[in-house]
Amino acid sequence: MSASDEEQERLEPRVGPVPTGDPEFRPYHHPAAGWGAAKSVTQFLVREGALVDGPRAIKRMNHEDGGFDCPGCAWPDDTKGLHLDICENGIKHVTWEMTRKRVGREFFAAHAVTELRGWSDYDLENQGRLTEPMVYDPETDHYVPISWKDAFDVVGRALRGLDDPDQAAFYTSGRLGNEATFLYQLMARELGTNNLPDCSNMCHEASGRALTASLGTGKGTVDLKDWEATDALFILGVNAASNAPRMLTALADAYDRGAQIVHINPLVEAAATRTIVPHDFTDMALNKATRTSTLNLQPRIGGDMALLRGMAKAVLEQSPTDPKALDREFIDRHTTGFDEYRALCEATPWEEIENQSGVSRADVLKAARVYRDADRSIVSWCLGVTQHEHGVDTAREIVNLLLLRGNLGREGAGPSPVRGHSNVQGNRTCGIDHRPGEEFLSRLAEVCDIEPPREHGLDTVATIKAMHRGEVKVFVGMGGNFALAAPDTPYTYEALRTCDLTVQVSTKLNRSHLVHGREALILPCLGRTEKDHQRKGVQSTSVEDSMSMVHLSVGMKRPASPHLLSEPAIVAGMARAALPDSATPWEWYIEDYDRIRDTMAQALDGFEDFNRRVRLPLGFRIKQPARELVFRTPSGRAEFSVAALPDVVPAPGTLALGTMRSHDQWNTTIYSDNDRYRGIKNLRTLVFMNRDDMRERGITASAPVDITSTAKDGSRRHLNGYLAIPYDIPRGCAAGYMPEMNVLCALGDYSTQSDQPIMKHVKVTITAVR
């Protein structure tokens, strides 16, 4: 690639499709979901040529007696066994996988990799489903077909040729089913490495660490029944209408029941207004919207911790005169560290809380009042809380607040992180963890008769650094689009290109196939919607949702190509090639996934009797000790944390930029350039700004601006010519879309608490293009 091409790739990553018209910005005033969603779905089905197959498949989605799990987000299925709890984005997601378009060998013969690099990410994925294994041929700069056997040999040879197993890294994107996950981590550990970076390292690592430190288990404690029973919901840093649309149903039901719903987000997102529940046909017909919010607070970016501290302070201030403000009995019986926490709250002045949160004392008190008046509260959060320097402290502050009123271990109360990918939580449960615990490893060692390494492995950021230094030479991506999803795009590209071998197990063509190592393989796999035939018949896989429910998913479609293998089969193929003398019965496992589940039942905590329980109509819930008020913490109690409030106020002249998703995208998969609920059409290269911040900088509406980020180490990164959109966002804050804005995220800017890249608080200056 020439220097100027490279420069181009750095500065102008074009992710979305070619716009169909001029950019438009018109504030959105309609309810979330409803007819807008229905229309968007129909247009999408027509475009993908799936008007018949699409609806047929969707009918089998999230079905209590069979069918496949929606491969979209991790929101749980309705507890009542509702047959059709679906959403606009779930439908798009499934249809995107089921497309009739195919990327066969002719396609790769016609287009050199260097040419494809000039294509947008949308165009790459839009070519359709991958159909057979391909290997990069450096002579011609084309991908050419390779047999599965030869492909596995390439992987096996590279892995066997390493001086040290830690020279390999095995990435997981959170869709991988539990059975494939278990085999994948087993392969890595049998090889001798814990280098298991995953998308969780960019997502909810902070939540896991916070909950483990506070409660002893790294997951939320509530389920949908609790959502149905709670009196107050506090929703922080989630764009639910786009990213967990089925939460809208829960919010509307809560509102109808008279529950309080407080949204805490610098942006007033669509889910914080009103919705028409898409499967409620009468509401649809009557265009009847239900409110989904009783109070909206707009903290500054990173201001949540101060706001939560303010709520706690208010409750504590009230406690001398209001004996019911605190649950003293709960605090005394189940927690430790309360006195220190109370002292800390008392010592934190209101001025600091107001300044750091960006919310007035009066408004903090409003939220505190809701919290005090509710018998049962749930706090739910997503990336707006986690992708920060102090994500762990903030998630722990959420727990602090809950503990004050005993909002734990009883119906309708507790912490409820909203996980991302459909099985990202299951991946962790089944062993994808670069810092595995001794208990897990020793049990794995015993059950699987392997000697797993004990030292911690590399996470996402550390893997990129190690590849860049030439220390990790083989990179395997089990799904996902690592090149684009990871921070610091040009640096990550360089890192991947330094590898001896990159292997991507994928359903669709994406950037990570074009930014590759010296040798490169594309291994196409079955999608979740497809029938998985193995020796003992059609197989199912299991997944775990955000609320710890594990259930089976059975594909029903004919595979996109007869040459696809399932993910478990691909893992087994790679494992056998890399570990020819392995005693693990890889081939035998693949004949019947019940056999994998039988081993998992022995190796994993909470999976006893796995094969039977997973076949119950709604699956089963993994035991949550904290829910039973059993805390696996050093003290055996729930632990209050006492962290100082961080300084999140932007320095003069600078802004805090949050990178986020538009409505019409799934992480690095872009469906269109529209962001319906935020009123945007035909535009992704934009930055939402406060009007006063724009005025101060002489920036007019929709004018082009240059954005420069300054990393912790002082290095600068740029995006040029983005359009500034005036938006209802607090002063000092700005927002725009991932993955484009990963160019601005320095690899070194990860949280010292969670090692998560700081994707929601990038320090930037924004200037008008002169």
Ligand X SMILES: Nc1nc2c(c(=O)[nH]1)N[C@H]1C(S)=C(S)[C@@H](COP(=O)(O)OP(=O)(O)OC[C@H]3O[C@@H](n4cnc5c(=O)[nH]c(N)nc54)[C@H](O)[C@@H]3O)O[C@H]1N2
Residue with nearest beta carbon to Mo ion: 420
Q: Which of residues 419-438 bind ligand X (CB under 6 A)?
A: 420-421
Token look-up 């998992």 returns: 600
Residue type, 443: R
Q: What angle do CA 391, 394, 396 make, to 5 degrees?
A: 110
Interface with ligand X, residue 745, by CB under 6 A: yes
**Of Mo ion, ligand X, none, which one sits near residue 239, judging by CB under 5 to 8 A according to partner kind?**
ligand X
| Amino acid at site 498 | T
- CB under 5 to 8 A by kind: which of Mo ion, ligand X, none does 540 bind? none
CA distances from 273 to 258, 290, 659, 717 (A): 16, 9, 22, 36
Q: Which is nearer to Mo ion, 326 or 485 (CB)?
A: 485
In the complex with ligand X, which residue's Cβ is closer, 162 or 379?
A: 379
CB of 92 to Mo ion, least distance (A): 17
| Shorter beta-carbon distance to ligand X: residue 639 or 673 | 673
Residue written as tokens 């997601």? 93
Q: In this structure, are strands 377-381 and 335-336 parallel, antiparallel, or unpaired?
A: unpaired
Which residue in 77, 125, 231, 673 binds ligand X (CB under 6 A)? 125
707 binds, among Mo ion, ligand X, none (CB under 5 to 8 A by kind): none
Burial 259-279 (b: 16+ CB within 10 A, else e): bbbbbbbbbbbbbbbbbbbbb
Show the site string, 536-575: x = touches ligand X by CB under 6 A, - = not. -------------------------------x--------
Sheet strands (E) in 156-218: 168-172
Determine which residue in the list 415, 480, 559, 619 makes contact with ligand X, applying CB under 6 A: 480
DSSP structure string for 317-377:
HHTTT-TTSS-HHHHHHHEE-HHHHHHHHHHS-HHHHHHHH-S-HHHHHHHHHHHHH-SSE
Q: Which of 237, 406, 417, 436 binds ligand X (CB under 6 A)?
A: 237
Task: Kindly identify the residues of this chain, within the stretch 268-327, that bind ligand X according to CB under 6 A.
Answer: 269, 299, 301-302, 304
Report whether 752 contacts 641 (CB < 8 A).
Answer: no
Instruction: Give me 452's structure tokens.
Output: 């797993």
Quick one: which of 68, 666, 688, 727 contacts ligand X (CB under 6 A)? 666
Give the shortest CB-302-to-Mo ion separation in angstroms: 19
Give the nearest distance from C-beta 675 to Mo ion in angstroms.
Answer: 18
Query: Using the 8-state DSSP alphabet, how is residue 420 labeled?
Result: S
From the CA atom positions of the chain, what is the Rg in Å?
25
Q: What DSSP character marks residue 751?
A: -
Q: Looking at 221, 542, 669, 756, which residue binds ligand X (CB under 6 A)?
A: 669
Question: Residue 44: which of 707, 693, 672, 678 has the closest Cα?
Answer: 672
CA 568 from centroid of its chain's CA atoms:
22
Residue 202 binds ligand X (CB under 6 A): yes
Map residues 350-389 to x or -, x wherever contact with ligand X holds by CB under 6 A.
Answer: --------------------------------xxx--x--
Q: Tell whether residue 527 is a contact of ligand X (CB under 6 A).
A: yes
Applying CB under 6 A, among 759, 763, 764, 765 the residue interacting with ligand X is 759
749 lines the binding site for ligand X (CB under 6 A): no
Using CB under 6 A, which residues numbered 165 to 194 contact ligand X?
Answer: 173, 175
Task: Give the three-state DSSP class for 69.
Answer: coil
How far apart are CB 549 and ligand X at their closest, in Å? 17
511 binds, among ligand X, Mo ion, none (CB under 5 to 8 A by kind): none
Cβ proximity to ligand X, 192 vs 490, nearer residue? 490
Interatomic CA distance for residues 648 and 560, integer angstroms? 49
Shortest spacing between CB 240 and ligand X, in angstroms: 7
Which span (225-233, 284-292, 395-403, 664-672) binds ligand X, by CB under 6 A?
Answer: 664-672
Nearer to Mo ion, 477 or 573 (CB): 477
Q: How far is CA 654 from CA 357, 650, 702, in A?
A: 17, 6, 20
Query: For residues 37 and 638, which CB has a smaller minimum distance to ligand X in the complex?
Result: 37
Q: How far is the CB of 739 from ligand X (least distance, A)?
A: 6
Query: Phi then psi for 20, rounded to 5 degrees?
Result: -90, 0
- 444 near ligand X, judged by CB under 6 A: no
* Four-CA torsion 524, 529, 532, 538, nearest 10 degrees: 180
Q: For ligand X, which stretch binds (CB under 6 A), given 434-442, 612-620, 667-675, 698-706?
A: 667-675
Q: What is the nearest approach in angstroms of Mo ion to the Cβ of residue 761?
A: 17
What CA dihedral angle connects 422, 492, 567 and 54, to 10 degrees?
A: 50
Q: Which is nearer to ligand X, 406 or 730 (by Cβ)?
A: 730
Shortest reach from residue 421's CB to Mo ion, in Å? 6
653, 688, 691, 760 from 731: Cα distances, Å: 11, 11, 8, 15
Triad 232, 236, 238: Cα angle to 5°: 115
Q: Give the residue, chosen from 50, 159, 183, 199, that forms a contact with ligand X under the rule CB under 6 A.
A: 199
Q: Give 262's strand partners.
A: 234, 295
DSSP 201: G
278, 453, 479, 730: residue in contact with ligand X (rule CB under 6 A) = 479
Q: Does 393 bind ligand X (CB under 6 A)?
A: no
Partner that binds at residue 338, options ligand X, Mo ion, none, CB closer than 5 to 8 Å by kind = none
β-bridge partners, 620: 550
Binding residues for Mo ion (CB under 5 A): 203, 420
Per-residue binding string, ligand X, 57-86, x by CB under 6 A, is: ----------------x-------------
Structure tokens given for 423: 């099985």
193 binds, among Mo ion, ligand X, none (CB under 5 to 8 A by kind): none
Total residues binding ligand X (CB under 6 A): 61
Contact partner, 499, from ligand X, Mo ion, none, Cβ < 5-8 Å per class: none
Query: Please, what is the minimum distance in Å from the beta carbon of residue 358 to ligand X?
Result: 10
Q: State the nearest-atom distance from the C-beta of 621 to Mo ion, in Å.
A: 22
For the residues of 612-663, what is the DSSP string, one character each?
HHTTSTT-EE---GGGGT---STTSSEE---PPPP--PPPTT-EEEEEE--T
DSSP single-letter state for residue 750 = B
The residue among 418 and 601 lying less far from ligand X, judged by its C-beta, is 418
267 contributes a contact to ligand X by CB under 6 A: yes
DSSP 545-610: -TTSEEEEE---BPPS-TT-B-HHHHHHHHHHHH-TT--S-HHHHHH-HHHHHHHHHHHSTT-TTH
Is 680 a residue that touches ligand X (CB under 6 A)? no
Piece of the chain touching ligand X by CB under 6 A; list 149-157, 234-242, 325-333, 436-444: 234-242
- Taking the complex as a whole, how short is the minimal distance between the CB of residue 206 and ligand X, in angstroms? 11
At residue 274, the 3 state secondary structure works out as: strand
**Strand, helix or coil for residue 729:** coil
Side chain identity at residue 323, one-letter code:
P
The nearer residue to ligand X, 176 or 638, going by C-beta atoms, is 176
Strand 549-553, strand 541-544: pairing: antiparallel
Cβ closest to ligand X, residue 589 vs residue 666: 666
Q: Is 485 in the site for ligand X (CB under 6 A)?
A: yes
Instruction: Indicate which of Mo ion, ligand X, none lies near residue 382 (CB less than 5 to 8 Å, by partner kind).
Output: ligand X
The binding site for ligand X (CB under 6 A) comprises: 73, 89, 125, 173, 175, 199, 202-203, 236-239, 242-244, 264-267, 269, 299, 301-302, 304, 382-384, 387, 420-421, 478-482, 485, 505-508, 510, 525, 527-528, 567, 658-661, 665-669, 738-739, 741-742, 745, 759-760
